[in-house]
């Protein structure tokens, strides 16, 4: 079998396992176990200048090849254009998007540097798979260097309607760059329709035909086993004891403004204000590890959330009950799986999300005989696969409160039937299927 080359902004460190292993590494595990592979991308380290020669090392059949980013490139490429311009635009948040020509130039420079460093390491029959919004121009840069290999691209975040995307300066250049890829994967049919429309409007009709939806999933069975096993762990037992039989609502997200956390906290506040019977009978745990803490908007969000926690606990807490428990430290995956299993409600209300794997993990963690209820934003890509969830508009705190009340008072028969409606696709459309489907189209593409 030929070699698979994965290109992503961040390369996982094979020495780190469990909670610190990146989501992408988990999703690709199966594909990487079955063939020789290379991971290529940023090392996560910042140096004076962006490196030109990658540092390589091997672990089993996987070669890791990484570059340090120069300080200025990190600021322009990563903080600037990728996180400051593209991330908000792709999540429909034009008002938060900031553009500067210097950032845009840095983005192009790093993509070109990645391609220049990778090209000499490539073999003629490699399949190359680039991931996410950091790498729109990467395939085009490889083509400029004469690379003829199959190159695929997968966008993990949403793609908005073309009119919105094209408000971003230089958007047409990004679309033209995408045309260099043999397969352009997105999460949902809506994203695919938006991207096709944008490509056609930009005169890239041929590339539009190469856009396909590949909804990403999780391997459900190992997560279910993790959740079952977690129930016997000391951390889980201590947590259960601390709840004193109160119903648990759980939220698990990176601390990011796309995840709708202030609106969610407000919705929980509305539950306690309007549905008084739940007071002192419910506990909401929100785990939200800090991400991109060096970007101003993320620091502002953190302050806003601190205020919400103070407001809700200040208004409703009793000497023996804190309605909202909030932590910005990461929780290890096996422990989190146990907390999810214990929770009567999984609360997942992003304002926009490419997919949202937490929603699928919550379903996988449930006890099928006595499952909890998923309250899910209608703007998460996962909606299409989770027909049993209670859908909410994440911008309407009253709707969140009403859904929480419905979930907390739902009888077991309805909970089971809603759970089964969600579990079908969570079990069937896992990470393995996602890899297989994408690579099937990519590797079939040039064989025709
Ligand atoms: P993310 O925005 O990071 O990913 P998501 O899919 O929800 O969002 O989470 C990815 C993984 O991180 C999950 O496995 C989850 O358990 C873990 N995680 C999240 N919060 C955590 C926490 N508090 N503690 C421990 N682990 C946590 C991007 C896109 C998504 C898309 C994924 C995959 O934004 O829409 O689903 O890529 O394509």
Question: What confidence tens digit (pLDDT) does each residue in 83-138 have?
Answer: 999 999 999 999 999 999 999 999 999 999 999 999 999 999 999 999 999 999 99
Among protein residues, the one with the nearest Cα to ligand 1's atom 9 is 357
For residue 294, the model assigns a pLDDT of: 77
For residue 24, the model assigns a pLDDT of: 84
List, by residue range, all CATH 3.40.50.2000 domains of the chain.
Answer: 4-216+431-442, 220-428
Q: How far apart are CA 217 and CA 433, in angstroms?
A: 8
- Which of 93, 325, 357, 438, when mutated, tests ligand 1's pocket best, judged by the most ligand atoms within 8 Å of its CB? 357
361 touches ligand 1 (CB under 6 Å): yes
CB 317 within 8 A of CB 323: yes
Give the residue from 254, 324, 311, 282 showing the smallest Cα distance to 83: 254
Beta-bridge mates of residue 212: 185
For residue 296, the model assigns a pLDDT of: 81
Task: Detail the DSSP E strand segments found in 349-401.
Answer: 373-377, 390-392
For ligand 1, what atom is nearest to the CA of residue 359? Answer: 7
Interval 372-384 mean pLDDT: 98
14 touches ligand 1 (CB under 6 Å): no
219 touches ligand 1 (CB under 6 Å): no
254 touches ligand 1 (CB under 6 Å): yes
334 touches ligand 1 (CB under 6 Å): no
Q: Where does 4-216+431-442 sit in CATH, by number?
A: 3.40.50.2000
Q: Which CATH superfamily is domain 220-428 in?
A: Glycogen Phosphorylase B; (3.40.50.2000)
Whole-prediction pTM: 0.96
E strand or H helix at 184: strand 183-186
> Could you give the residue numbers annotated as active site?
156, 353
Centroid of ligand 1 to alpha carbon of 410 (angstroms): 28
Interval 171-181 mean pLDDT: 98
Percent of the chain with pLDDT over 90: 89
């Amino acid at each position: 079998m030929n070699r698979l080359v994965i290109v992503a902004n961040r390369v996982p460190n094979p020495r780190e396992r469990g909670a610190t292993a990146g989501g992408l590494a988990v999703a690709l595990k199966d594909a990487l176990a079955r063939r020789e592979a290379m991971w290529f991308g940023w090392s996560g380290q910042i140096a004076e200048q962006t490196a030109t020669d990658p540092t390589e090392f091997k672990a089993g059949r996987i070669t890791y090849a990484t570059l340090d980013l120069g300080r200025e490139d990190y600021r322009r490429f990563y903080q600037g254009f990728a996180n400051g311009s593209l991330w908000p635009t792709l999540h429909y948040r034009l008002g938060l998007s900031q553009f500067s020509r210097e950032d845009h130039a840095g983005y192009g420079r790093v993509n070109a540097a990645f391609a220049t460093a990778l090209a000499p390491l490539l073999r003629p029959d490699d399949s190359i798979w680039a991931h996410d919004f950091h790498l729109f121009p990467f395939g085009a840069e490889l083509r400029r260097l004469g690379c003829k290999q199959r190159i695929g691209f997968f966008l993990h975040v949403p793609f908005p309607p073309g009119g919105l995307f094209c408000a971003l300066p230089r958007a047409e250049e990004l679309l033209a760059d995408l045309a260099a890829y043999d397969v352009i994967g997105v999460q949902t049919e809506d994203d695919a329709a938006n991207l096709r429309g944008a490509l056609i409007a930009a005169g890239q009709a041929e590339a539009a035909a190469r856009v396909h939806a590949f909804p990403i999933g999780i391997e459900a069975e190992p997560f279910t086993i993790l959740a079952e096993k977690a129930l016997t762990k000391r951390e889980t037992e201590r947590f259960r004891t601390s709840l004193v039989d109160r119903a648990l609502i759980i939220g698990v997200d990176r601390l990011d403004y796309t995840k709708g956390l202030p609106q969610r906290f407000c919705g929980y506040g509305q539950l306690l204000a309007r549905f008084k019977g739940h007071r002192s009978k419910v506990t909401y745990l929100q785990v939200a590890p800090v991400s991109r803490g060096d970007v101003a908007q993320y620091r502002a969000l953190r302050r806003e959330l601190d205020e919400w926690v103070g407001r809700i606990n200040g208004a409703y807490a009793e000497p023996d009950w804190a309605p909202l428990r909030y932590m910005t430290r990461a929780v290890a995956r096996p422990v989190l799986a146990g907390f999810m299993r214990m929770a009567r409600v999984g609360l997942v209300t992003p304002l926009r999300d490419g997919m949202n794997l937490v929603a699928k993990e919550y379903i996988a963690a449930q006890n099928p005989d006595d499952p909890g209820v998923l309250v899910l934003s209608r703007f998460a890509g996962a909606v299409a696969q989770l027909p049993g969830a209670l859908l909410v508009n994440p911008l309407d705190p009253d709707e969140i409160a009403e859904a929480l009340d419905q979930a907390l008072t739902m009888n077991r028969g309805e909970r089971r039937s809603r759970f089964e409606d969600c579990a079908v696709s969570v079990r069937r459309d896992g990470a393995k299927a996602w890899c297989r489907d994408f690579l099937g189209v990519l590797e079939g593409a040039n064989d025709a």
